[in-house]
Structure 1
């Protein structure tokens, strides 16, 4: 497996936090794996968080159950956002978040360019492989992250 693929939860994960979940894997190495749930909208928008209350309404997504005290983002605008790590094709994770928020608030970045998450999904070394082998996840080699 490598970064840039999607995994879909199977019926084995019904009645769990991962029921009907699509995750985009952004990191996969000897330390483990990291990804973000791309199909579950968080009930509040970015401007409903205290720190961003002066900004524009912008959707947040439930990235996963790990570190829900922080925001993370995936984007496809490395020409505007510095410091992101390349995942696949023109998709990057992270970078200069203050610049990203500025561009969101001025309308330069839209939901077609960036997705912001609360929390992430993480697995220790070989843990995700074991979950795939037991049938909890199915690999999908293409999918949709950003809105059209």
Structure 2
């Protein structure tokens, strides 16, 4: 069983079901960096209606959807991928999932078809917490901590991650996962 104090890089944060913040309502956030100075993560289940090659004019053509990573610095693009052995400077977040790396090399690898849409996910902006902020939010019950599974990022339907992760936790979490989004739908 995961405890609130087990917050670490590579875990996911699941918004409590009645969180009102529209940025995080019923979302799953992969923590990519967690330390004494704060935390950084990306919302896994909020696709935008655009592709990365439409967003960045000089980007090679790739059928890769862009996701809303969070409300911080929405003028930046980030990426999670499976090709840490090919993308110099990338950082392993959890088993088989890497963050960032050399952007020019990434574009070359995509042009060469060495990175396919199934290997990468792009994000506009990120989710960030200052020192102590995430711990405080955990204490108030804003987040449910869970294990990250590769398929949440590269196998699940993009808008079902929150529900799937709660169901995987079992017991009362599985019941929460199936609660209607609005009480009037009960």
TM-score normalised to structure 2 length: 0.73
Q: Please say if residues 63 and 117 of structure 2, whose CA atoms lie closer than 8 Å, have aligned partners that are also in contact.
A: no
Alignment-derived partner of residue 19 in structure 2: 13
Q: Distance in 2 between matches of 1:40 and 1:145?
A: 12
Does residue 35 of structure 1 match 2:36? no
SS at match of 1:109: coil
Does residue 48 of structure 1 match 2:42? no
Q: Please say if residues 61 and 115 of structure 1, whose CA atoms lie closer than 8 Å, have aligned partners that are also in contact.
A: yes
Higher helix share: 2
Structure number with bigger Rg? 2
SS at match of 1:57: coil
Q: Identify unmatched segments of 5+ residues in structure 2.
A: 1-6, 157-186
RMSD over aligned Cα atoms:
1.8
Q: Please say if residues 30 and 42 of structure 2, whose CA atoms lie closer than 8 Å, have aligned partners that are also in contact.
A: yes
Figure out how many residues of one structure are paired with residues of the other and give that number.
148
Higher strand share: 1
Does residue 125 of structure 1 match 2:128? no
Distance apart, 1:128 and its partner CA: 0.7
Q: Distance in 2 between matches of 1:49 and 1:16?
A: 23
User: Which residue among 94, 104, 109 is the counterpart of 1:98?
Assistant: 104
